[in-house]
C-alpha cells in the first residue's frame, strides 16, 4: 500500500497563534501551520500508521521552533511549546520524522543539498505527497514544484496536496487565518505538461492518465450529473481514440471521421473546465486537428499524413500516404475505396503507367476501361511519379532497413517530406 506523506519546512520566526479556516470550517488554533494542516488533511481523508510526516529544519529552526522554550509569549512572557511537543500531543497514527541540520540554502550548492536530502530521505516509490509551503525561504515553493515533478518521474509519486496557511489576513491572529489550497496550480501544471506531450509527440496517454486520476473521481462525486466534467472526460477519451487511429494507421476510421465527430462534440459541450485555465490548452489541442474534416472525406487520409509527419511518426506517414493515393484514385472514378478488388485496380493503373513496356496482367484484361479512366484523372502522372519510390520507402520501413540498399534516417525524412509536398501541390490540399 502506497504511503501518504506530509512534508513541511519549519521556519525560525516566533509565530503567533491563529485560528485557521478552510471553507468556513475551523481546523484549530495554533502557532504552527504544520499542526493545523495535518488536522485539515486528517479530516479530509483517512491516514494510518503506514503513512508518514517529515518536518524539514535547519539547526536554527530546530532550536527556535522544534524544541520547547526558546520563544516566549509576547504578552504573558510564558515559555512557548515547540512543534515537536505540539505534534506529539496530537497522538498521530503515523510517525513524524524531523529532517535536521539542513543548510540555509544561501547558494546553489546548499539548495541542491536540500533537494537531494528531501528526495532521498523523505520520498519512497509510489508515495502520495502533501506539501505545506507556509514557512521557510522564498525559494522553497519553487523547489517543491521542481522536486514534485522530478519525483513523479523517478519514483512514480503523486502530489496529493499543496497548501499554504495565510496568517497575514488574520490581523495578527485577531481574525481567522485561511488554509489556501494551491493544488489547482499543480494540477494545471500537470495538464500543461500532458498537453505539451500530445502537441509534440501525438501521444495522449498522459492526458488519459490525468483524466482518470482527476476528472473521473469528480464525475463519481457528482454521480455523473456534472456536464462539464463528463464532457472533459469524453474529450480526452475521444482524443486518445483518435491518436490511436492515427498511430496505428486506421485509414477507414480516419476518413469516416466518427471519432473526430465525437471529439468535436465533446469539445463544443465544455462550457467551463475543471480549471478555467485549461481552456487555452484544449484550444491548442483543437488547433492541431483543424485540417481534418468532420464529415466523411477521402482527404482526411492526407490530413493524417501531415499529422503523423509533424509528430515524427514517419513510418505511419509513409503508410498512410501510399494508401491515401490509392483511396483518392478510387474516389475520383467512383470505385469503392474499401473494396480490395477496386483498390487493386488503382494499383494496377499506376503499375501500367510506370511500366509501359510490360503487358497488362491477364486478370485485368476485362478492366481496361476502368484502368484507363483512373489514368485519365487529374494529376495522375504526378501521383505515379511519387507512388513507386514511396512504395520502396515503405518497404524499407517494413523490413527495418535489413536490405542491401536502404536509406539513412535523415534521407528517409527528406524523401518523405518531398513526396508529401509533391502530392499536396498536385491535388491542391
Q: Is 161 helix (H, G, I), strand (E, B) or coil?
A: strand
pLDDT value at position 76? 86
CATH number for 4-181 (one of 2.60.40.10, 3.40.50.10640, 3.40.50.300, 3.40.50.720): it is: 3.40.50.10640
Q: Give dist(CA 270, CA 230) in Å, integer.
A: 9
Question: What is the model's pTM?
Answer: 0.82
What average pLDDT values come out for the chain (429 residues) when binned by 10 residues? 93 93 94 97 95 96 96 88 96 97 91 94 96 85 88 94 93 93 88 92 93 88 84 92 96 95 86 73 88 94 96 96 96 94 93 85 86 92 91 92 88 95 83
Alpha-carbon gap, residue 67 to 99, rounded angstroms? 14
H/E run at residue 56: strand 52-58
Strand 128-132: give its sheet, edge to edge.
Answer: 25-30, 18-22, 177-181, 158-166, 128-132, 4-9, 52-58, 96-102
Residue 383 grid coordinates:
501521383
Domain map (residue ranges) of the chain: 4-181, 182-297, 303-429
Q: Which long-range contacts (CB under 8 A, 24 or more apart) does 71-80 make?
A: 71/14, 74/14, 74/16, 80/14, 80/31
CA–CA distance, 14 with 73 (Å, rounded to integer): 9
pLDDT of residue 142: 84
pLDDT at 126: 96
pLDDT of residue 273: 66
Amino acid at each position: 500500500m502506497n504511503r501518504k506523506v506530509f512534508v513541511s519546512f519549519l521556519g525560525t520566526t516566533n509565530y503567533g497563534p491563529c485560528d485557521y479556516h478552510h471553507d468556513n470550517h475551523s481546523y484549530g488554533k495554533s502557532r504552527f501551520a504544520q499542526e493545523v494542516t495535518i488536522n485539515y488533511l486528517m479530516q479530509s481523508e483517512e491516514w494510518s500508521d503506514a503513512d508518514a510526516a517529515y518536518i524539514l529544519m535547519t539547526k536554527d529552526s530546530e532550536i527556535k521552533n522544534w524544541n520547547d522554550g526558546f520563544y516566549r509569549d509576547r504578552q504573558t512572557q510564558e515559555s512557548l511549546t515547540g512543534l515537536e511537543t505540539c505534534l506529539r500531543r496530537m497522538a498521530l497514527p503515523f510517525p513524524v520524522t524531523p529532517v535536521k541540520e539542513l543548510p540555509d540554502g544561501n547558494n546553489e550548492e546548499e539548495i541542491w543539498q536540500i533537494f537531494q536530502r528531501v528526495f532521498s530521505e523523505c520520498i519512497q516509490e509510489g508515495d502520495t505527497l502533501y506539501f505545506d509551503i507556509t514557512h521557510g525561504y522564498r525559494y522553497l515553493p519553487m523547489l517543491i514544484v521542481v522536486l514534485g515533478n522530478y519525483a513523479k518521474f523517478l519514483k512514480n509519486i503523486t502530489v496529493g496536496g499543496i497548501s499554504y496557511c495565510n496568517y497575514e489576513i488574520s490581523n495578527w491572529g485577531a481574525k481567522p487565518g485561511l488554509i489556501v489550497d494551491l493544488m489547482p496550480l499543480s494540477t494545471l501544471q500537470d495538464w500543461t505538461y500532458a498537453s505539451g506531450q500530445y502537441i509534440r509527440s501525438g501521444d495522449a496517454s498522459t492526458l488519459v492518465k490525468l483524466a482518470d486520476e482527476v476528472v473521473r473521481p469528480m464525475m463519481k462525486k457528482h454521480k455523473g450529473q456534472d456536464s462539464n466534467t463528463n464532457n472533459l472526460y469524453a474529450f480526452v477519451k475521444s482524443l486518445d481514440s483518435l491518436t490511436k487511429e492515427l498511430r496505428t494507421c486506421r485509414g477507414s476510421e480516419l476518413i469516416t471521421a466518427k471519432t473526430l465527430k465525437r471529439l468535436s462534440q465533446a469539445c463544443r459541450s465544455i462550457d467551463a473546465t475543471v480549471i478555467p485555465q485549461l481552456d487555452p490548452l484544449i484550444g491548442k489541442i483543437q488547433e492541431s486537428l483543424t485540417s481534418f474534416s468532420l464529415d466523411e472525406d477521402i482527404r482526411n487520409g492526407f490530413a493524417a499524413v501531415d499529422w503523423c509527419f509533424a509528430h515524427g511518426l514517419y513510418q505511419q506517414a509513409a503508410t498512410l500516404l501510399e494508401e491515401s493515393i490509392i483511396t483518392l484514385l478510387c474516389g475520383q472514378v467512383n470505385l469503392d475505396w474499401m473494396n480490395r478488388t477496386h483498390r487493386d485496380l488503382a494499383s494496377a493503373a499506376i503499375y501500367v503507367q510506370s511500366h509501359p513496356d510490360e503487358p497488362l496482367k491477364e486478370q485485368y484484361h476485362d478492366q481496361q476501361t476502368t484502368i484507363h479512366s483512373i489514368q485519365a484523372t487529374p494529376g495522375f502522372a504526378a501521383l505515379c511519379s511519387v507512388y513507386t519510390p514511396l512504395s520502396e520507402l515503405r518497404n524499407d520501413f517494413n523490413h527495418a532497413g535489413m536490405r542491401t540498399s536502404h536509406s539513412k534516417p535523415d534521407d528517409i525524412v527528406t524523401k518523405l517530406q518531398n513526396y508529401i509536398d509533391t502530392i499536396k501541390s498536385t491535388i491542391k490540399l
